Structure 1
Amino acid sequence: MATWFLIIIYLSFISLGIPDSLLGSAWPVLHLEIGAPFGSAGLISMIIAGGTIVSSLVSGSIIKKLGTGTITLISCCMTAGALLGFSFAPSLVWLAVLAIPLGLGGGAVDAALNHYVADNYKAHHMSWLHCFWGVGATAGPMIMSYYIANHNSWREGYSAVSIIQFGLVIILLVTLPLWKRVAKLHHAAEVGNSNETQSDGLEGSHTGISSPPAKVKVHPTRLKGVKFSLLAFLFYCGVESTVGLWGASYLVGAREVSAELAAGWISMYYGGITIGRLITGFVTLKISNRVLILAGQLIAALGGLLLLLPLPDVMTLVGLILIGLGLAPIYPGLLHETPARFGKENSAQLMGYQMAVAYTGTTLLPPLFGLIASGISISLFPAIVLAFLLLMMLSSEQVNRVLKRSRSEA
């Protein structure tokens, strides 16, 4: 039963990834058909991310009332309906309205499933959970590319993804009792091991929910290194979403690649994230998170450099794939390092702050680049991406330096 249940969870995270990569893949042809300004993709992205932030912040109390399974079901219904609406949207205003339930539904699924897996399963399951997000994010541009190339219709691409989402809704509806049954089993295990900090075979919650936190003398945001950690999350999600949203437009506008080929190349970028997280799930048993995070940042920076240099188009594809591979271990690794860096007694609050700042990066940085591209040129895309990557690396490494200095002083 545990295996089948994990499959359901992974399928749910696939549904979270598919919509995240659709807008950027469709935008080169979408904005022309509906008469929207080129830079307005940033506005839609901001509304989606804003809804995600709101639903993530309130998800904790809602999960306690309704349960993870019910929240996931409701959220998938919202995203499926919003995607179906996108396929019929006649104007930018309609896209903006439909972006609200799309963001709210996506944020609720993200928070609920991250919490559930972190609280009940081992560390490698977290990497694989985000790997399946990559599966969905990779499939999105592939689906859109197919419908643009063969049917000359981005609307049919959105319709196809909506049908997939509604299929998942049916699966979740049928298996809803399984969520409640597994929740009871986990609760029984916790009660049976109430004198232990962790149950055998399961990883203790790195969000600090499974055991009462110790009394905190200093507010978590005042701990040494926390502000740099928050900046690392800001720039990580900023660069990941900027490449996903504007990569296809850069390829079409600056490199003169066809819209369907550009969507396929962005799919390869998300494929790099997916494959990287699949591999990360295995190597976490042998290599520390700190080493994986640094290695990922260096690989991503190399990919950004390949985009910046005047190289043949094939090297642009290689650069996108390297950025995806490099980004793969960073987000799960940073999340998992939180209790080790700042203490389990502070991790509960810091997890929420880090995810909120991460979504803020998704909300603000892609629209910021949209303004730059509209006012100056889309050709600045490689330089901005590389700058975000370097700022993320500097912030993350500064956390390590601050903590090392703090421990040596102690």
Structure 2
Amino acid sequence: MQQAKTRSCPALFLTAPASHQGKTTLTAGLARHHRNQGRTVRVFKTGPDFLDPCILERASGNPVYSLDLWMTGAADCRRRLHDAAADADLILIEGSMGLFDGTPSSADLAAAFGVPVLAVIDASGMAQTFAAVAQGLSTFRPGLAFYGVVANGVASTRHAELLCELLPSSLRCVGTVMRDEAMTLPERHLGLVQAQEIGDLEQRIETAAARIAVTALTDLPPPVVFAPATQAPIPRLLADTRIAVARDQAFSFIYPANLELLIALGADIAFFSPLANDPLPVADAVYLPGGYPELHLDTLSASGVTKATLHAHVAASRPLFAECGGMLYLLDSLTDLAGATAPLLGLLPGRATLQGRLAGLGLQSVELEGETLRGHTFHYSSLQTSLAPHTHARRASGTARGEAVYRHGSIVASYLHCYFPSNPGATARLFKP
């Protein structure tokens, strides 16, 4: 067998000292700028995220996959980067939170694959201190390849001068991006507003691209060499299995890699929309992913056709796997942040309430029938149910108990969002009739 060869491609890792610095906006603008120049741009997102990747996909025109040394694994990261380098003119990776936050961190990922780091710093409210923050990021971890820094949210030409005044000669400022509400991406409690809900998203991305066009980021970064990764053949454990997947604005938190794995396992995928009151397609199993059911309570409560066909599916003892928002949809009722309550499917006993503070966050894994799936949790609701948990997930770090996993007849449900490629065999068991 011929051994796969290394591939090289210009690549850049966009990070920041913290969240809310404008990473996604500038990554989208950078991707769109180079796409407008006729280049093929592949973008990746660090860590678990469903919202940023959809915006980055719109900007680049290509699917956006998650990279995480723990959740997706180093081999999965290596394979996806190597595959992208086959046809990309530029690879961009957007980090999560701050450069050194988390275990593993964005810095760990950048170092693992030798991708140079570009720090995006929101400069509003600071002047010469910008240089101290930039220098701290660039020198905190010796050996980390550092490409430069971008000042975001700059107020004026004079402000830009003050920001760069004390930067050491060894640290390059590759751009100062002026403050511009026309390119700002709107947010809500779980992060950015979904791409399909932003009516002027194209205009916002193009505005960001225009801001990038007057910086040194118009130049391609140096090429990075990406090594190949071997992948074990995926057995067709779901051959002749049809899986109905809910997908609309209420249920959109789906890793592209999850659907691709189900197909590689042999499954046939059929989508349906509870918001459109679609009947459940003829299917052997159902996947209810996470999303924003709390924003569509009245519509979901009135979707009688979807409700009746899901009830029939469960009554026939066919598998149903639900994650986070999908699990909330199964409950007797859900109360939103304004205090409005609506009855939902009533397939899982209990009720949930949205709250103003974060209730669950972090990387976790769960063992089901001796097989371990990795994933993450991120939610603002609390659940009250008479069901005893079937098991609990384990946190990637720390000693606190992870999310509960419930079994109720043919239903498996949890707040945990699973990354299916972390264990194809365990994934197949969730959907196998």
Same fold? TM cut 0.5 = no
TM-score normalized by the length of structure 1: 0.25
Indicate the structure (1 or 2) with the bigger Cα radius of gyration: 2
The structure carrying a bigger helix percent of its residues is 1
The structure carrying a bigger strand percent of its residues is 2
TM-score normalized by the length of structure 2: 0.24
